[in-house]
Amino acid sequence: MKFLLTLVLTVGWLRLAAQEASPLDVYADSKAHIRLSYPETWVRHRNDDRTEVTFLAGSRRPAAATVSLRIIPLPDGRKDLPNLLSAGQADSVARDIRQLPQAHVLRLDQHDAGSYQQVRYEYTYAAPNGQRTRVAGRRVWRGGYEYRLEYRAATAQDGRYLAAGLRVVDSFSFTGTPPSRRYAEQLCDDKMYGIAALRLRDERWEDDCRTIHEFNADDPTEPPRIHRQVLPFQSYALAKGFDNCLYSVTKAPTDAPEYVYRYNPTTRQGSYTTWQLPAQGPENVWISAATDDHGDLFFSTSDAGLLVKVSPYDGTVTVVWSADPVRQAPYYPAIGLAGAGSHGNFCLDDAHTLYQVYSTDGSILSVNLNTRQPGPELTRLAGLPKRGGYSDLLFQNDASGRRRLYLAGPKSLYEVDMARRQAHYVRKGVYTDLAGCNLFRVPPQPAKVPPAPATATWQGRILDAATFQPLPQAQLRLTLAGAETTVPLTAEGAFSFATAPGRSYAAHVQLAGYLSADSTFTTRPGPYVQDILLYPLAVGTTLPLDNVQFTQGKADLLPSSFPALDQLVALLSKNPTMTIELRGHTDNQGDPQKNVVLSQERVAAVKQYLVEHGVGAPRITGIGLGAAEPRASNARETTRRLNRRVEFRVTSVH
């Protein structure tokens, strides 16, 4: 019977079309770059930390209906995933819904817009207070946040609030580029940092290696901002990520795996990451760190024999090399003598070249990261002290975009002119490592909208419309161009049917003891979820005839009513022992007694049509109720229309 399944899938949207829009107010958050519209009669409430705003319908409390907007940071393990739909986020939403008591999924579909992904859903469930509750919402994932919008109200309030609530949910939009927690969407700022090797305490210099100095990149000669003793260990290695956090690891020669520590200079808070570097080898320490043009972090050991890459995007740790490539260079015998200095301190440029500094005299070496081939010669610099203590290099752009190369020397910071092979004094200070990343700062490009999925997958369950329990014994058949497919059901009454988008199928669902459901549906791109309800073939089951319409103020059937009545004829023909009661309703306009008479006349008109099409008159009784049982508010014409209706109720099935 076609109208039954059509009713299940579309009755909610028919209700929406019949509700009247009211004047709107606008809610906008300039920091989050979001906005939405809501009825001016609704009350807005925002919590103190600005992470949730609620719109309350009506003046009574608790509100009869609400729409809430929450901004939820995604867990660190998921915020950098490039596509949360591919990672199963929509499936997670579906599982959460189905765990609710007597859940009925009316809609769940997904969309990838490139810059964000979203799931839209609508479902009902049995709330603890005994009322059936409707939830309709969107979950939008962007920039490491989830924007969750949900309309929530008892289904008894559908006629009054559902349309307005869905308009609020639909109106949510971004007004610009919102804040992002995703590593790939951060812009590295101009700040540069160094780990201070020494500190003055009680007028004596002592080892530090836990304090970080923050320099003005435009003028490093200015006094630095001090982040005193912010590392939980002494360290030689410091890298700056694209998220403008600093990453470090202990200098202790543990020869054991070590976790990377993240320090946020803005909040002055730090914590260990889950990223673990491998054991550094005997008599070795992690001596230097740097950032590349992708935002990956690199760590090197003091003998330059182990270089490790850490990807903040997914936390993977990769060994780049486990043998020093400089050993192949013709000049290596001159710097590889026993007791000679280290060349493990390094930085990276935007051409995949790794530059190392020889700690004994400040000479600069290079290695091509792609080929692992060292440069042919050392670059010796003029303008440096003759011996000892050169600890790091860093490329950094100044305010005009000019590239500068800084060198940490034994007692001072220098700027290097590679073309002239000349170093110039910048400021005093002893630093074990330097960190910065603005050389690689590139504004993110607009995300491309991916093509629509080439497949369509309808998933759902067949449920009892009275108890919302699964019906695994039901039979679901789909027909396309005369070819019929029986779709198997699981023990939970669930099904999944994959095909191409844009195909129109005839669907037939049947089960002994239930009213059969027939409808047509057109497949949409991508996966979507929609449950099917089967109504028990039992005394008391009542269904509306939504498309049965009359001339205004009269009992004359309109031709648009005939398809729905023909479907009712087919139902009664398939179930020859079933009897029904027709129930007529009106709105509350006019004389109440005349409304009762009009509803009786309309019931009589429907009965006459059924009898003329072969249904025995004794199988049909009728009653006109006038305005006694409204389905929606009678306050406005658009909702009064919902009350002018005819229903049928099963009175016996034998």
Which residue from 235, 253, 159 is spatially nearest to 634, judged by alpha carbons? 159
Q: Say whether both 322 and 236 belong to one domain.
A: yes
pLDDT in tens, 277-318: 999 998 899 999 999 999 999 999 999 999 999 999 989 999
Q: Say whether both 314 and 413 belong to one domain.
A: yes
In a domain, 152, yes or no: yes
Name the phi and psi angles at 341, rounded to 5: -70, 180
Of 72-76, 126-130, 337-341, 390-394, the poorest mean pLDDT is in 337-341
> Is 217 in a helix, a strand, or coil?
coil
In a domain, 145, yes or no: yes
Percentage of residues in the chain having pLDDT higher than 70? 96
Q: Say whether both 3 and 87 belong to one domain.
A: yes
pLDDT attached to residue 2: 35
In a domain, 125, yes or no: yes
The full DSSP string for 93-126 is: HHHHHHTSTT-EEEEEEEEE-SS-EEEEEEEEEE
Which residue from 546, 589, 582 is spatially nearest to 564, judged by alpha carbons? 546
Q: Say whether both 225 and 350 belong to one domain.
A: yes
CB 557 within 8 A of CB 566: no
pLDDT reading at 59 higher than 90? no
Q: Say whether both 56 and 146 belong to one domain.
A: yes
CATH number of 557's domain = 3.30.1330.60
Last residue of a domain, one of 536, 551, 585: 536
Mean pLDDT of the chain, nearest integer? 90
pLDDT attached to residue 372: 95
Which residue from 177, 183, 184, 207 is spatially nearest to 195, judged by alpha carbons? 207
Q: Say whether both 433 and 458 belong to one domain.
A: no
CATH number of 530's domain = 2.60.40.1120
In a domain, 639, yes or no: yes
pLDDT attached to residue 625: 93
pLDDT in tens, 545-575: 878 888 888 899 999 889 889 989 988 998 8
Q: Say whether both 266 and 320 belong to one domain.
A: yes
Mean pLDDT throughout 482-504? 94
Domain count, the chain: 4
* Domain span holding position 639: 542-652
Q: Say whether both 209 and 350 belong to one domain.
A: yes
Residues 6+ away with beta carbon under 8 Å from 478: 484, 485, 487, 497, 505, 506, 507, 508
Q: Say whether both 163 and 91 belong to one domain.
A: yes
Q: Say whether both 351 and 463 belong to one domain.
A: no
pLDDT in tens, 143-156: 999 999 999 999 99
In a domain, 445, yes or no: no
Which residue from 552, 612, 562, 602 is spatially nearest to 582, judged by alpha carbons? 602
Q: Report the alpha-carbon distance of residue 467 to residue 470 in Å, rounded.
A: 9
Q: Say whether both 376 and 511 belong to one domain.
A: no
Q: Say whether both 550 and 578 belong to one domain.
A: yes
Residues 6+ away with beta carbon under 8 Å from 454: 500, 501, 525
In a domain, 512, yes or no: yes
Report pTM. 0.79
Which residue from 278, 348, 276 is spatially nearest to 315, judged by alpha carbons? 276
In a domain, 448, yes or no: no
CATH number of 201's domain = 2.110.10.10
Last residue of a domain, one of 440, 470, 494: 440
Mean pLDDT throughout 171-177? 94
Residues 6+ away with beta carbon under 8 Å from 186: 180, 241, 242, 243, 244, 295
CATH number of 61's domain = 3.40.1000.10
pLDDT attached to residue 22: 67
Confidence tier at 21 by pLDDT (50, 70, 90): low
> Is 263 in a helix, a strand, or coil?
strand
Q: What is the separation of C-alpha 351 from the centre of its chain, rounded to a whole number of angstroms?
A: 34
Last residue of a domain, one of 536, 567, 584: 536
pLDDT attached to residue 10: 36
Q: Do the strands 456-464 and 526-529 form a parallel or antiparallel pair, or are they unpaired?
A: parallel
